[in-house]
Amino acid sequence: MLAAFALIAIAKEWSALRESFASIGPAVVAFNLLSLLAGYHVSRASGLDKSLATAVAFEIGIHNSTLSLYIALSVLDNFQLALPSAIYSVSMYLTAALFGLLLLRPRRAAAPHRASA
Domain ranges, ordered by start, for the chain? 24-104
Nearest by Cα to 41 from 32, 54, 30 = 54
CB-CB contact of 82 with 69 (8 Å)? yes
Mean pLDDT of the chain: 81
CA 111 to chain centre: 34
Q: Which of 8-17, 43-52, 55-64, 80-89 has the highest mean pLDDT?
A: 43-52
Lowest mean pLDDT among 4-8, 23-27, 44-48, 98-102: 4-8
- Per-residue pLDDT at 5: 65
Averaged pLDDT for residues 67-76: 83
Neighbours of 20 (CB within 10 A): 17
- C-alpha closest to that of 61 among 105, 10, 99, 7: 99
pTM for the model stands at 0.69
- Rounded distance, CA 93 to CA 6, Å? 14
Pick the residue with more confidence: 16 or 34? 34
Is 48 a residue whose pLDDT tops 90?
A: yes
- DSSP assignment, residue 20? H
